Structure 1
Amino acid sequence: MNQEQMDHYRLLIEGLLVELQDSDKYLKEATQPIEPNIAIGRLTRMEAVPESLICVPCAKRK
């Protein structure tokens, strides 16, 4: 493998790493426990639970 190919793959891997780190940050925020809050009602929390559960398999795949 020549230097040009190594540079190409290094840039490719670095780009993927940045993408995964950004995705990881988002998934950590999206999968936080849903706390009871007076500002939102019970139904709103119930609606948010499935949304947070959908993110868990996404995190496992990455």
Structure 2
Amino acid sequence: MRYQETLMGQKNELIDIADEKDRNYWAARLGVSSERLKSAVRAIRNLELIKIKEYLSTTKAVHKLVH
């Protein structure tokens, strides 16, 4: 995991999707498969944990509405 400094001095957690251990850790923490995590990163083109969480929760909500 890496951190990115924002303009406001906050640190954003970045998921190292290329690191299998990091990817598996975060997939488990987020309750998704490693492949689902990689798909989310590709879809939003972002490695920030907060953005990935937002995307996953949005797609999960949409999936529930459709099914």
Higher relative contact order at CA 8 Å, sep ≥6: structure 1 or structure 2? 1
Greater strand proportion: 2
Larger-gyration structure (1/2): 1
TM-score strictly above 0.5: no
Tell me the TM-score normalised to structure 2 length.
Answer: 0.31
Greater helix proportion: 1
Tell me the TM-score normalised to structure 1 length.
Answer: 0.33
